[in-house]
Structures are given as C-alpha cells and as structure tokens.
Chains A and B, each alone.
Chain A
C-alpha cells in the first residue's frame, strides 16, 4: 500500500524559557493510504504537537514531513495554507464550525475556497451530511446542533475536499458515550466507503479499540506502533 505520510527524524524543541522542552524527540513514522490510526499517549506526551506538524499547522525544529513528495518542513506559511486546503482535512476537539454558516455551508466552505462550482459542492456537501446522518439538519446553524451533531458536521467538512488524509485531534473528548460510538461508527464507515485515511489523537479507549493501528507516544517518542 502507498505511503501517504513519511515522517523522518522529527524534532520539536521549545526553548522559549530557560528550560528546553523536547515535545517531539526524534520520531519516524509512515502512514499508508486508507489507514485508521490512533496516536495515543498521556497528556503532554506530544501527540497533538505531532499531529499539528503532520497537518502543517506547526513547523518542526528539524526533520522532514513528506506528503505526496512535498516536504512540509520547507514550505512557506502561505504555501502551507494552500497545501492544507487541498490535502488535509481537520477535525478539532471543540468542533470549530463557523458559527454564521449553516451545516451545509460549513461543509461547502472549503470546497468554495477550492473554487468548486456551487452545484458540485452543494451535491457533495449534501451527500456527506446524509452519510453522517444529518440529512435533515442541512440548514441548521451550529448553535442549533448538539455537540455530537456538530462533530459529525466537522467530519463531513473534513472529508468535503477529498483530502489525502484526515487529522482528528481528540475528536470525541467533548462527546458523551452515545455520540462517541455514533461518531466512531460514522468515521469507520467513511474510512471504508470514501477510502479516507484517518489519524486520531485520543485518550479514549473506545477510539483505541476501533483503530486498526495504534501508535503510542510518550515524552515525544514513539514507544510502540501496533497494527491490529
């Protein structure tokens, strides 16, 4: 199977204070197409920092992050914005939908940025919202949706631009158990149906149980990497 992400010799060192903090301390990983991978570890282990760097949101101190033959570590911030738009879908812990847009408009938003025609993006957004079980809430604003429903809109938004992979930082942290199960099922189905590559960071055992590959990070290092 083809590698989507190749991370080589990655370091992220914070030295803003007198104490040097090695948030990522020499990480090497490869993520293949279609994977459903969980990055787990205790708080402060570096899993969010790792995901932020893979997602091009943060720059490494050293090392390479190769995605589709391009090294994210060498890209300017404006190039990174365009790169993210075309290659990466994000699901945030706090959903982070745009409050003035309806569910369907939130899903359409990234496609609008990509310059996709109204008809095409509307059809795709509708299809995705139906896939996450929100076909009847297309025109609801985020404030009118529950946390679980908002996160499902965020999943649809992340998939809308057909990215190479989706990064989900603690996607179930703010959800109750029923919503968590429901969300995980939806993502699992989409992973198969849309052949979307998912990478999660999570504390949640239910996420770990659902993942087909589990990468355990502690003190900025990979302690174990288990494919089920």
Chain B
C-alpha cells in the first residue's frame, strides 16, 4: 500500500467535501484561464493592430529625434546598418521612413499632413499598406506620386489623378515644396491617421527634404516582442550609443503601454482574489480533514508511523484534490480557448465602431500560451503548499497519547 494509493482512498472517503474542494479549484482555474486568455489576447490584438500597423515593435532614430521631430534629426540609411539589423534573429521585417510634417494644398483647401517617405515593398511587408488601398494604385519606387488617407482626400476634396502641393521645411533650413500626383487612396481604421497620412516613395521624400540617403525612422517588426530588449541592446552595442536612439513600442506609444499595464493589473488583482477564495477553501478542507482524523493519526504514530510520513500522506491527499481540479479546469477551458484563438469573437455595433476608431480590428482573439496553463497549475501547487503550513505544524506537534484520546 503506497501513500499515493492511500491518499487517493482518503480523498474518496468524504466524497462530497473532496468534490466541493475540487470544484472550487476547477472553477478558479477555469475562470483564470478564460479571463486571462481573453485579456492577453486583447492586449496582443491591440499591440498587433497599433504596433504592427504602423509603429513597429522597435524604432531606430537619430539621437534626440523622438523629443524633437525635425527633419534635421536624420541618420544615414546604409547597407552596413540594414545588413546588421536584418541579421538579428528576432527581426522579421524592417521599414525605412522619412517622416516630416507639411502643409498640403489642393484648390483653396489646405491641411497639415504627415509626409511618409517609404520603401513601398518593405512597407507593405511591414504594415500591409497595400491592403488598405481603396482607390487607385499602390506606390512603386520609380513613380513620383502619393497615397493619401481617405479622410484627408475627402477634406481636401481631391481624388486619384489630381495633384497636390505640399510645402514644408527641408534639411538644414532649406525650404521643401513639391507638386505630386495622387495615385491612390488608402483607408486607415484610425480616423486620426486617416486624416493626416500621406505616403510617397522614399527617394522622392528625400529629394523633397533635400536629404541624401538619410532617414528619420527605421521601424522594426519582431517575431517575438517579449525579447525586444535583447534586440535593442544588440543594436545599441553595435552602433555608437550617442548617435542613435532605439525605442520599443512601450516608449513610442506610452498611452497604450499604460492602458495595458493598468488593465493587466486589474486582471491580476481579480485573479488574486479568486485564488484567495480557493486558498481558504483548501485550508478549510485541510483543517476539517485533520481535525476529524486526529485519533487515526494517533494510531499511526502508536504503531510506528513517523510524523513526516503522515504529513506526506496529507500532502498527497491535498495534491490529488488540487491536481484533479487543475486537470479538469484545463480540460474544460482548453477547447474554449482554442476555439476563440482560431475564431476570434467579433464585436458588433457601437463597440466595433469604437475599436475601429482607435485603429483596432473589432475582434477579441484568445491568447493560447502553454506557459499560462503551466503557470496556473504552479500557482495552485504553491497555494496548496502555503495552505499546508499550519496543518503540517499541527501534525508535527501531535502527541501520540493525546491524539489517541481525541
């Protein structure tokens, strides 16, 4: 008779109580997995939409550019830099950009715009810009023309085939001006971006700003954002730290990072409360389990079972309860999470509109991370160990004669 078998039988001894405790563990694991998977899935969606659509996981600029976004803060875009950054394992795509502010005019209308000089192919790979085209053609490197956000085009009352005048400041105080044919209209989910973005091939943007082969921004997309600090360090260690600045999306879009952090904090607090309730449930079961078996433990001590072996037995009993609860919780939540991971929940109505306004796809995909299942199981295990402390002390203090008289 091994202790595990004996523990299993003891678990079945008071089936109702064991089932209630298992059910509480199951419910906690189930709710924790579902809610956290929803939360993390939503964060991933937000990050993918906002970061993936434009910002990138990391951006490289000339030192000081982010604080003072002027066209003088440019750096040389050369093969040495590109080859090195492309050679970093985690980097999946790069997009060089010349970003500058200008006044755009058509007829008697004038609007402030953000001119983006891009490599059309690289940008499409990076942010799927081509897929946002709603009218006209996509850019190519050798065609002098621009793409406009649909709201911007509407505000300026122009369309494909018209020409737009832009006026701004070039490199080192030179004036920048140009007349460009509108070859396409793109639509961005974010109204803010849609009413101010203008794209043109990078070489024409450099020409417009009187730049040589220089850029303001090199955006990087990573396969795994969790290791972005390693990529940052690799870039900074290769290039002179004082010449360039390397920023991740948390620094580039601090509002988004703070929003996720605050929401995540709330999620963790909810989980903590959930687990606290489960912990007290387990503790109550343990105390009852021990109090009603003091005499039995006394007999075990009398016939030669050491205290630590009784503790082992009780530990196994608690572990079985926790294990069954965790396994059933995972088994029930797994298909739900897998389903919504592959078929994200689609928001409709006002919620969908709000999300679209913020530049996000109106969906809620569930995150599917094996590590999360494991971490919940470990959390329950840690709770069990903590809740066992007092029962273990009371078992260790049991006096045989007193226990026998209980």
Contact = CB atoms under 8 A, between A and B. Distances in A.
A79 to B, nearest CB: 11
Interface string B392-403: 000000011100
Interface in A94-121: 96, 98-101, 105, 108-110, 112-114
A96 B297 CA distance: 10
A28 interface: no
A57 interface: yes
Interface in B297-349: 299-307, 309
Interface string A63-105: 0000000000000011001101110001010001011110001
A122 B304 CA distance: 19
Contacts of A96: 295-296, 299, 404
**Interface of A, helix, strand, loop or mixed by DSSP:** helix
Interface of B: 1, 6, 9-10, 13, 295-296, 299-307, 309, 399-401, 404
A52 B300 contact: no
B304 A101 contact: no
B300 A98 contact: yes
Nearest to B300: A98
A157 interface: yes
A86 B304 contact: yes
Interface string A24-44: 000000000000000000000
Given A81-B304, A99-B13, A57 B1 contact: no
Interface of A: 52, 55, 57-58, 77-78, 81-82, 84-86, 90, 92, 96, 98-101, 105, 108-110, 112-114, 157, 161
Contacts of A100: 6, 9-10, 13
Contacts of A90: 299, 302-303
The 3 A-B residue pairs whose C-beta atoms are closest, nearest first, are A85-B304, A100-B9, A96-B299
Given A57-B400, A57-B404, A58-B401, A98 B304 contact: no
- Give the most central of A82, A98, A99, A161: most B CB within 10 Å: A98
A78 B6 contact: no
Contacts, number: 61
Given A57-B400, A57-B401, A85 B303 contact: yes
Contacts of B301: 81
Given A96-B295, A100-B13, A113 B305 contact: yes
Given A92-B299, A109-B1, 19 more contacts: A52-B401, A57-B302, A78-B307, A81-B304, A81-B305, A84-B303, A84-B304, A85-B303, A85-B304, A90-B302, A96-B295, A98-B300, A100-B9, A100-B13, A101-B6, A112-B1, A113-B303, A113-B309, A161-B304
Contact of A109 (B303, B400, B401): B303
Contact of A98 (B299, B307, B401): B299
